[in-house]
Amino acid sequence: MSNTVTRPDWGKLFSSILAEPGRLGEYYSLFHSYSLGNQALAMFQMTLRGIPIGPISSFNGWKKLGRRVRKGEKAIALWMPVVKKEVVQKDDGTEEERTRRFFIMKNHWFALAQTEPIDPENPGTVPTPETPEWDRATALANLGITEVPFEHTDGNCQGFARPDKLEIAINPLAAMPWKTTFHEIAHCLLHSKRAEAAFVDGGVIDASIEEAEAEAVAFLCCATLGLPGLEEARGYVQSWLGSSAKAEEFAKKSASRVFAAADKILKAGAASKEEAGDE
């Protein structure tokens, strides 16, 4: 880690993740949650029409997010539930109102690549704050991690990682792309099949602990570099752990893993490739 950065007390910071109030970001619910079937249908249409796979929303949905559908773009069709009430006559001659639910296909949705900012000066994305002590591209290169396109239809998903391939993807509309980047890098460092072997007691890590570990790493990186997102990171960790028993397990087994991953990420972005290779 560069000598220009004074590292805070990580022990106290780690404890604060569980002890201090957090807030789950509203950006996890900005988009409608589409069924797996509709997501697959949308991806098929995007691929067929040569549209880059990405988040989908309705015309008005994009408008609320500060984006508009470009002229000439054709909508994507999804299955839409329809509820219809009808009156039927029973055998005894009386009438009864029944509700029937069925699906119809409607062309109401557009992919991110089919839209543009309503206000070019405010494109609807959050720029990464200046961090002269840490360079993102240098960190990815030193860690051997590749960033790939965000090919996911769920706009609520901020990013994803493929740990065994050392690949990460960040949603172009991510609310805090710097925090998400730390989170996904942490997955690559901690949660590949190779990394799992180092877990305390040799146990298998469940998804809740994996997510808590990755976000705790992001929390420490943000705190060390003076970046926003600490309250949201605490909220994310607390929501995944859920119970005091899970939090206790996390505190005992994950602290050293989180510290090691955060240290590696920060050093990778602060050092040259030659320096990183000598560590």
Q: In this predicted structure, what is the pLDDT of residue 69?
A: 97
Place of tokens 């109401």: 108
Which SS3 state, helix, strand or coil, does residue 9 take?
A: coil
Instruction: Quick: pLDDT tens for 16-46.
Output: 999 999 998 888 999 999 999 999 999 999 9
Q: Give the least confident one: 135-144, 171-180, 269-278.
A: 269-278
**Residue 228: pLDDT over 80:** yes
Q: In this predicted structure, what is the pLDDT of residue 183?
A: 98
Q: Which two tokens stand for residue 185?
A: 């890098």
Give the mean pLDDT of 198-217: 80
Q: What is the pLDDT confidence band of residue 98, given thresholds at 50, 70 and 90?
A: confident
Instruction: Quick: pLDDT tens for 102-112.
Output: 899 999 999 99
**Residue 230: pLDDT over 70:** yes
Give the Cα separation of 115 and 154 in Å (integer).
Answer: 16
Cβ 172 vs Cβ 152: under 8 Å? no
* Between 97 and 57, residue with greater pLDDT: 57
Q: In this predicted structure, what is the pLDDT of residue 5?
A: 61
Q: Which distant-in-sequence residues (6+ apart) come within 8 Å of 97 by Cβ? A: 85, 86, 87
Give the Cα separation of 212 and 236 in Å (integer).
Answer: 7
Note the pTM of the prediction, 2 decimals: 0.86
Please name every residue paired with 84 in a beta bridge, in sequence order, or none if there are none: 100
Place of tokens 């050392």: 166
Give the Cα separation of 140 and 1 in Å (integer).
Answer: 15
Q: Which distant-in-sequence residues (6+ apart) come within 8 Å of 149 by Cβ? A: 52, 53, 169
Cβ 205 vs Cβ 196: under 8 Å? yes
Cβ 225 vs Cβ 254: under 8 Å? no
Q: Which segment, 112-121, 138-147, 240-249, is predicted with the most confidence on average?
A: 138-147
Q: Which two tokens stand for residue 12?
A: 């106290």
| 8-state DSSP, 209 | H
The values of phi and psi at residue 194, to 5°, are -70, -40
Please name every residue paired with 57 in a beta bridge, in sequence order, or none if there are none: 110
Which SS3 state, helix, strand or coil, does residue 199 take?
A: coil
- In which region does residue 152 sit, left (phi positive, over 0), alpha (psi from -120 to 50) or beta (all else)? beta
Average pLDDT over all residues of the chain: 89
Percent of the chain residues past pLDDT 70, beyond the cut: 90
